[in-house]
Amino acid sequence: VSKKVRAQATNIIKLYAARSVMRRPPCKEDDQDFVDFCNMFQHQPTSDQLQCMEDVAKDMILRRQPMDRLLCGDVGFGKTEVAIRAVYRAVKNNRQVAFLAPTTILAAQHYRTLCKRLPEGINVELLRQTRSKTTMDAKERIANGEVHVIVGTHT
């Protein structure tokens, strides 16, 4: 095994060891406002989506450990809606959210979807990989807590 692979594995083990002792206050139980938000979804959720939404809700509401969940599924099977509900729940509990995507095109698509789905008053920013004044201003607004949701790529 190469030194780089061994170093990466060591870093991952250290990361998960640190995460295992992290604690955070759980989110509040979902209220009628959250139910109304969910009811605005234009489609009928599938049974798999409903199960995933329930699992995410339990992670956020019942656990004190930060959630570590990966949503997997084919294109068009509702992963974004599961994530949007988690984003809304987090923001309602005074948390900032980083919504990451593997490509800039998908990040831009998620940004548009979030802007359309989230209620007025929830500030969403698309962070691009540049050192422009716009990006620097966005980073400052994030640090100041003015931005609730930041959308970008994982790199």
pTM: 0.85
State the pairing for strand pair 124-126/97-101: unpaired
H-helix or E-strand spanning residue 134: helix 133-143
For residue 60, the model assigns a pLDDT of: 95
Q: Measured in Å, how far apart are the chain's first and last C-alpha atoms? A: 25
- Alpha-carbon distance of 111 to 58, in angstroms, equals 26
Q: What per-residue confidence (pLDDT) applies to 32?
A: 96
* Mean pLDDT of each 10-residue bin along the chain, 155 residues long: 90 92 93 95 89 94 87 82 95 94 92 95 88 80 92 83
Please, are residues 88 and 114 in contact by the beta-carbon 8 Å criterion? no
Nearest CA among 142, 28, 25 for reference residue 89: 28
